[in-house]
Amino acid sequence: MSPFLKPAVVASVLAAAGIGLSVVPATHEAKPTPPARTASRPHLDATSDAQARQMRRALMRLAGQTNPGARCHPNEPPARYAPCVVPSLRHAGMGGQMAANVLNATIAGVPFGLCRAYLLGLQAAAQAAGDQARWLLPHMYGPDRRGAQAEVATQLAQITHMLRRAARAAPANVCSVAADTPAA
């Protein structure tokens, strides 16, 4: 084997393995990296107020989507009860989890205080609604369907009430800049 063939074989094996080699000239000096930007302190602004109002509406809408399932009569035969209640369970399961995830980003930019406490309450209610609905859905198709139907009816009514109560737990302007300033 020639001496020129060995580096070529090594280079092709390394390239096939996905390992890249880079040669840096000896005269190259690393540039100093600029200092990292300091994170600004969280504060209330128009964005946090708008996001809080939007999440309030989202939880009220989610409560409105779960309410029809709470009105389904649990003494119906399973073939009639399931189609009545499953859409509400799906809305609560997916919508609750999505709202809780969206609220993570909103809460991160809000300082400690009434607004943050309100947003954490919204998040807890949304997360609980999602978890409870996802837990109830498989029970609709278990061996004790009649018992599950009574449980689903009760739990959906509680989920609806919890979402509405969390959304109404503070005034609509709890996250506005004016609410953050102390009274004179």
| pLDDT value at residue 176 | 86
pLDDT greater than 80 at residue 180: no
Give exposure, 78-115, as e/b (b: 16+ Cβ within 10 Å).
Answer: eeebbebbbebbbbbbebbbebbebbeebbeebeeeeb
| More confident of the two residues 99 and 140 | 99
Which residue is listed with tokens 């109404």?
Answer: 168
Nearest C-alpha neighbor of 70 from the set 133, 124, 142, 115:
133
Q: What is the mean pLDDT of residues 152-170?
A: 95
| CA–centroid distance for 18 within its chain | 37
Structural element, H or E, at residue 148 = helix 145-167
Task: List pLDDT tens digits, range 98-132.
Answer: 999 999 988 988 888 999 999 999 999 999 999 99
CA distance 77 to 68: 17
pLDDT greater than 80 at residue 60: yes
Q: Please tell me the least confidently modeled range out of 26-30, 37-41, 173-177.
A: 37-41
Percentage of the chain exceeding pLDDT 90: 54
Neighbours of 58 (CB within 10 A): 19
Q: Specify the long-range contacts of residues 73-76, CB closer than 8 Å, at least 24 apart.
A: 73/153, 74/146, 74/149, 74/150, 74/152, 74/153, 75/149, 76/149
Which pTM does this prediction carry?
A: 0.72
What does the mean pLDDT of the chain come to? 83
Task: List pLDDT tens digits, range 143-160.
Answer: 888 888 999 999 999 999
